[in-house]
């Protein structure tokens, strides 16, 4: 059996902490769909101030998930590895299946549980 270095788990946990933000996940998916974008365009897309987007991008950049590419005076951000979108999509599919199972469980429970008696009005 192949043993993985414990250090890889620490790196993975650090990366997952970085993307444990709905907005950062949205940024990853936006960059995956549209390709390199300027901060201004991302801010317009999300209806957020540019400094807020820049902070999220700085975190993603420090984790090595995005990189800045300068084109003259413009700086565009792009995914460092497009596979991150696939990884996030895989986790989303796991969550969707889990939600479906929970929904099925709730429906089965509801069909087996008698409806509560209506409350009598207090006199």
Encode pLDDT of 53-111 as tens digits. Answer: 999 999 999 999 999 999 889 999 999 999 999 999 999 999 999 999 888 888 888 88
- pTM score: 0.77
Question: CATH classification of 11-81, choosing from 3.30.230.70, 1.10.287.3510, 3.40.50.300, 1.10.10.10?
Answer: 1.10.10.10
Measured between alpha carbons, how far is 49 from 118 in angstroms, rounded to an integer? 51
pLDDT at 46: 96
As beta bridge partners, residue 37 has 77
- Please give the pLDDT value at position 4: 64
The per-residue pLDDT for 118 is: 66
Domain ranges for the chain: 11-81
């Amino acid at each position: 059996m192949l043993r993985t270095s414990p250090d890889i788990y620490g790196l993975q946990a650090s990366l997952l902490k970085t993307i444990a933000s709905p907005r950062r996940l949205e940024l990853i998916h936006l960059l995956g769909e549209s390709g390199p974008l300027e901060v201004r365009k991302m801010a317009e897309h999300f209806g957020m101030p540019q400094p807020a987007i820049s902070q999220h991008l700085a975190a993603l950049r420090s984790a090595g998930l995005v990189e800045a590419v300068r084109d003259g005076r413009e700086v565009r951000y792009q995914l460092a590895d497009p596979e991150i979108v696939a990884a996030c999509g895989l986790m989303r599919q796991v969550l969707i299946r889990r939600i479906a199972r929970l929904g099925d469980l709730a429906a089965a429970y509801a069909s087996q549980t008698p409806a509560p008696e209506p409350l009598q009005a207090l006199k």
